[in-house]
A and B are shown apart, each in its own frame.
Chain A
Amino acid sequence: MAGTLLLGAVAYDPKVVTIWDGFRVWLRTQDLDLDYVLYSNYERQAEDLVSGRIDVAWNSPLAWVRARRLAQARDIPLRPVTMRDTDCDLTSVVVVRADSDVQELADLRGRTVATGAVDSPQATLLPLHLLRSVGLDPGTDVAVRRFDIGVGLHGDHVGGERDAALALAAGEVDAACMIDGNSLLFAREGVLPPGARVVGQTPVYDHCTMTAGPSADPRLVDRFGELLLGMSYADPELRPLLDLEGLKEWRPPRLEGFSQLERAVDGAGFYDDSGRVRARDYRP
């Protein structure tokens, strides 16, 4: 198939090179000429997608929200292509120590909550939105101690969440926010104190999504989506790459899973409706 599809991905970890090198080799054997560029942060990737500098972007949920707003403001169509099985139906939780007198989120009034980085959907934006939903204004009713690790990576770097959990274990904060999977991981690692309790949980939301922009040849995007959806975990050549990327299968995209984050972004004033960055202390 003629033409090259140029994909953007954020280099949140060295394995990203292994993953996209591997996928590139495999896709080329399937007659799809894919190339990729790596970004140091999601904001530039979202801007470049909408500007047509790259054809498709492997977007974080927050990058999807930003790209959608940027595109809508310019009346540019975006096309969701695919997402991972592990991107569907995630939740974030607010955790306290076993001996805490906090029984429910409302009890956190006047207390300190640890979060991940400023731009982490799962460990900051969504859990703080959860607090707002029970009438607690972060920064006013609840003090927020943020752990800004990997700013610009939209929470892909787990360091902020881990530091939040460590602060909880050390007794420095009253609660910590994290994605459900990391609450299991940190409990297994002993980072969370024994018997840590979940006192709040967000509704389910979706995570990363592959998005095609205005410069992409629709036929190449069709083929790309078709090939990703056809990847089998039974294929020994692909399985190590799928394991690295953290999925068992690609799934058709869906957009309803991002509405909660859209509201959280508005609630925090993170981006405006046109996709401009409004968070004052955000420097990706």
Chain B
Amino acid sequence: MPATTDLEHLGLDAGGHLLVDRTLAALAPGDRLTVQGSSPALKVHLAAWCRSQGHGFEDGDPPVVRKGEALTQRWAGAERAGSPAGPPMALADARWGLAARGALVEAGGPPLRLPLVERDHVWADVAPQLYAAAAAAQWDPATAVRWDAGTEAPADVEAAVVQLMTYLVENEQAALVIPARLLTRVHPHFREVVQLLAVQAADEARHVEVFSRRAVLHGDTIGTSGAGGRASLQTLLDEPDFTLAGFLLSVLGEGTFLDLLRFIHTHAPDVVTADVTRLALQDEARHVAFGVAHTTHAARTDPAFLAHLRSAIERRHSALLDTAGLNAEVYDSLVLLAAGSWEPAALARGWQAVQQLQYAMDQGRQRRLQHIGFPADEAAELSALHSRNFM
């Protein structure tokens, strides 16, 4: 007794094939399906449709579809690309291409040739939560900053703020390019990592915007860009390895920047400077969190990896030995910002504050290096090798 489906008035030219397909899905190749319906062209269209789909057609009243093998054959070699909820598989298959994680992937099609296909080379268990937090914490530069607050920095300090903003823009441009470049090399099976890096790049795009806008808020001239600072950033751009690049940028560079942004925020002479550094600080904390979590993951899955991290720091240090590092005008601007005026006594306080800042930066780096797995003495030694440019 063949199965039956009744299309009623629905023709195959208006979606009737969905009902036929749905009923056929439960049948085995060779099984017969009687198709009833009142569409005038039903038999003509059904015969043509069956031919195109690889089904047999028996002309009768009503007509009968004999299920073919094409659909079974199409999905014969299909496999699931892991599970949708994760965690991701240890190895992402190039043949999965851009398929959603967990999708049933038809065999064939072009392989996706990306270099980063091993979970432990890109992953951190906290990546999904960090991505969710990042997506929820997106802010609008137009409204999140009180651009019209009306407070202005004293004229003496304004130039220091402009110089610091100029420096921040330069550094954030490096911090934008690096995750943007890394994410194009990660297999999309590790989608939370790709998403997180995409948001990280978007975060930096907003930082570049708000720092640029603050720089010219009260004038049309911005500060200087030192060759040593740019050389320092170039070494970050030049690091090809995913984990090492993330380690140098996010753990050491952005980690150091947490203290820097907090410092500028604390000493901000106006509302806009306070707002832009506060907002950037929130984002940077997430970048650092992923950098630390992934580097820790990498070091725990391969303890020998600590040696690579150490080499990366030493390599960068050697490359920067002959450069000035931090632009002297940036350093002086930090002192003046904390001083609040050119009074000698104030400058002494400012100088002291920047000394404390550098100590805090060093302590923070050591803490993160120890978290990743370095012994305390080695962490202290490596922290001292960090770029004078802070990032």
B-binding residues in A (CB < 8 A):
85-86, 88-91, 93, 179-181, 183-184, 187-188, 196-198, 201, 232-234, 236-237, 239-240, 246, 248-249
- List the B side residues contacting A188 at CB < 8 Å: 13-14
Which residues of chain B have C-beta atoms less than 8 A from A196's C-beta? 41
Are B68 and A236 in touch, CB under 8 angstroms? no
- Measured between beta carbons, the chain A residues less than 8 angstroms from B45 are 180, 183-184, 187
Partner of A236, one of B41, B52, B77: B77
- Among B14, B69, B70, B76, chain A packs the most CB atoms within 10 A around the CB of B70
**Given A233-B69, A233-B70, A236-B107, CB of A187 within 8 Å of CB of B11:** yes
Min CB distance A191 to B, Å, is 11
Chain B contact patch, size range: 20 to 34
- Cβ A198 vs Cβ B54 within 8 A: no
CB-based contact A234/B47 at 8 Å = no
A183 and B48 within 8 A (CB): yes
- Seen from chain B, the residues whose Cβ lies within 8 Å of a Cβ on chain A are 11-14, 40-41, 44-45, 47-49, 51-52, 54, 57, 68-70, 73-74, 76-77, 106-109
- Contact of A198 with B76 in the complex, beta carbons under 8 Å: no
Instruction: Give the contacting residue for B106; candidates A86, A181, A184, A236; CB below 8 A.
Output: A236
Q: Contact check, A239 vs B12: say whether CB atoms are below 8 A apart.
A: no
Distance between Cα atoms of A86 and B53 in the complex (Å): 9
A232–B40 Cα gap in the complex (Å)? 36
The reply to whether A180 and B47 contact each other, CB–CB distance below 8 Å, is: yes
Interface centre among B12, B13, B77 (most CB of A within 10 A): B13
- Complex partner residue of A183 from B44, B70, B109, CB under 8 angstroms: B44
Contact check, A184 vs B48: say whether CB atoms are below 8 A apart. yes
- A-B residue pairs in contact (CB < 8 Å), sample of 8: A89-B51, A180-B44, A184-B13, A233-B74, A234-B76, A239-B108, A240-B109, A248-B70
* Nearest CB in chain A: distance from B182 CB, A: 31
| Across-interface contacts of B41 in A (CB, < 8 A) | 183-184, 187, 196-198
User: Which of chain A's residues have a CB closer than 8 A to the CB of B108?
Assistant: 236-237, 239-240
Given A187-B13, A248-B68, verify A233-B54 contact (CB < 8 Å). Answer: yes
By a CB distance below 8 angstroms, the chain A residues around B107 are 236
- The 5 closest A-B CB pairs, nearest first, are A236-B108, A187-B13, A236-B107, A248-B54, A234-B73
* Beta-carbon contact of A86 and B51 below 8 Å: yes
